[in-house]
Structure 1
């Protein structure tokens, strides 16, 4: 069965990754692409390596009133740019919002697909998690659900590749000369993902995420997110690993590893790697999470969520191995 899908924001990194995944999807047929600066051009002009069957598709100017008949719309727009427009899309069209406007918003399901797929199945409005929350929450979920750590006073030290800033590059501040051999902390105390993290930690644990600290850093690589999370708890390393393996038993995309994960393990994939180290005598648990910020952190999880809402196998179009090296 073929489903008609569209992508708005196809010119950006998230939209381009969605294009790559949908082009090889066994059930999704891309029939609509929308952008702003690239409107009027063919896909092949923006993505020279696009499959021949999609090469002639013309990128439209984004207008929710002029959508063709679609089953699913992927929206990959900057935070603040999607809420008003997506509210005008027909209820008959299922939407996965890769941007940040609808996370934990009434009427939208928070699509943390590996943790609560049952909440996503059959829904029509899904808000994709951000890239940092995707890595952080997958690592924390087994510990919070198992009461192995305290939900308060969690410290998240995060590193991300430059593509997380989007194709616009944060007003072009992240060019090669500025980013190469440079390590940049940013968003201290006020990053846009803080409310999303705090709300989800509270939902997973049943307690408040008071004292949450989240500090992201930009590192000179294209893709990847690694989070090192410091928590309070008296569990052992073995208990943490066992809890995660039980929590994610049968889940296709989460890998629990004995050794600390590396960003390259996930490159180009929808995989999420988690690991743990604990010192009960110091009341310390360290959780580690790795994702590809454009994969599990954006388009990969978006396709996973679309599979769930459409009643398709969750792994459809997402079975490819990571890129290596």
Structure 2
């Protein structure tokens, strides 16, 4: 049903289960049930503006003018409500857009900061890479220099050992040491017999020993425990302010200090001597220094000797 260009069912005051009837009193009323049963004619005199419940709705009977007014009000109010709703939606959307823009600005600011941090980090990585590359280059140069220096050191050490061996061989020829017996040794033909005596020959021999030890200390670059005073047959040993002669009375203290100096040279060259005589110890020092592999050969001989003894013990 359409009234004044408005669907009457869209009017809030018009229940959906009612029909409009206009009677002689210009009122509209009724429900579909009343219209279908024809009972609304009998209740004409009972019509009032009091609301009744018909079907599922409670409605109020009104005149056509009232309904027309409702329709006009609905027609007038609806665009205004729509405008309000649209404006509310617009404001809501505007706020959301504003918040979105603010959030976007914040995110853009964060992104710029992160990009800047990333650029700084890339710069730091680049600088670190350059530093590492520089260190690697310097390390390679240092390694090459170190390798070159090591080769030089090996060459110099070899030349030094060769020179030392040459000088010691010269000393062996200048001061020949020979073994006569277990207690007697000679140096340049001068005898030194144990126990040592105070003879002039012994004094001259001790003078040669002092001179030989002084030269050995210089050639091997090994300091001696005591200071040696070389003066031919009147040589002596100095310990601080005290002097021990190697001739005449009291020479035994000087011989003891001289033996300490010889043993110091042996330890410095890692040579073990089994001789008790001073000249025997010096002879082993000269041989061991001039022949560095002599010690290895002695160890090999010692190992073979022990194995031989073990085998012989098994067959006994």
- Normalising by structure 1, what TM-score? 0.20
Determine which structure has the larger helix proportion and give its number.
Answer: 2
Determine which structure has the larger strand proportion and give its number.
Answer: 1
Structure with max Cα Rg? 2
Q: Greater RCO between the two (CA within 8 Å, min separation 6)?
A: 1
